[in-house]
Amino acid sequence: MTSSAVSTKIDTLLRHAADGGRISPEEALLLYTDAPLHALGEAADAARKRRYAGDSVNIATYIIDRNINYTNVCLTACKFCAFYRAPGHSEGWTHTDDEILRRCGEALDLGATQIMLQGGHSPALGIEWYERTFAAIKQAYPELTLHSLGASEVVHIGKVSKLDHAEVITRLHAAGLDSFAGAGAEILVQRPRTAIAPLKESGETWLSVMELAHGMGVESTATFMMGTGETNAERIEHLRMIRDVQDRTGGFRSFIPWTYQPENNHLKGRTQATSLEYLRMVALARLFFDNINHLQGSWLTTGKDIGQLTLHFGADDLGSVMLEENVVSSAGARHRSNRTELIELIRSAGRVPAQRDTLYKHLSVHADPADDPVDARVHSHFSSTALKLLPTGVPAAAS
- By CB under 6 A, name the binding residues for ligand SF4: 74, 76-78, 81, 83-84, 120-121, 152
Least distance (Å) between residue 300 CB and ligand SF4? 15
Cβ nearer to ligand SF4, comparing 74 with 112:
74
Short-list 168, 283, 187, 178, CA closest to 226: 187
User: Residue 80 or 288: which CB sits closer to ligand SF4?
Assistant: 80
End-to-end Cα, the chain, rounded Å: 48
Q: Is 81 annotated as a binding residue?
A: yes
Nearer to ligand SF4, 185 or 281 (CB): 185
What does the alpha-carbon distance between residue 64 and residue 387 come to, in Å, rounded to a whole number?
A: 20
Burial class (CB in 10 A: 0-12, 13-18, 19+), 153: buried
Report the nearest approach of ligand SF4 to the CB of residue 2 (Å): 46
Compute the least distance from the CB of residue 199 to ligand SF4, in Å: 8
Least gap, CB of 181 to ligand SF4 (angstroms): 12
CA dihedral defined by 62, 307, 37, 224, rounded to 10 degrees?
-80
CB nearer to ligand SF4: give 121 or 171. 121
For the bound state, the minimum distance from the C-beta of residue 78 to ligand SF4, rounded and expressed in Å, comes to: 3
Please check whether residue 33 is in contact with residue 16, taking contact to mean a CB–CB distance below 8 angstroms: no
CA angle 19, 290, 147 (to 5 degrees): 140
Contacts of 398 (CB under 8 A, 6+ apart): 336
Nearer CB in complex with ligand SF4: 202/249: 202
Nearer to ligand SF4, 17 or 151 (CB): 151
Q: Which is nearer to ligand SF4, 152 or 320 (CB)?
A: 152
**Closer of 74 and 185 to ligand SF4 (Cβ):** 74
- Rounded to whole angstroms, how far apart are CA atoms 241 and 60? 27
Which lies closer to ligand SF4 via its Cβ, residue 48 or residue 121? 121
Smallest gap, in angstroms, from Cβ of residue 18 to ligand SF4? 36
Nearest of 113, 133, 132, 125 to residue 154 by alpha carbon: 125
74 is known to lie in a ligand binding site: yes
- Provide the minimum distance between the beta carbon of 399 and ligand SF4 in the complex, in angstroms, as a whole number: 27
Quote the least distance from Cβ 264 to ligand SF4, whole Å.
12
Amino acid symbol at 247 = D
CB of 77 to ligand SF4, least distance (A): 5
Going by the annotation, the residues of the binding site are 74, 78, 81
Per the annotation, binding residues for [4Fe-4S] cluster are 74, 78, 81
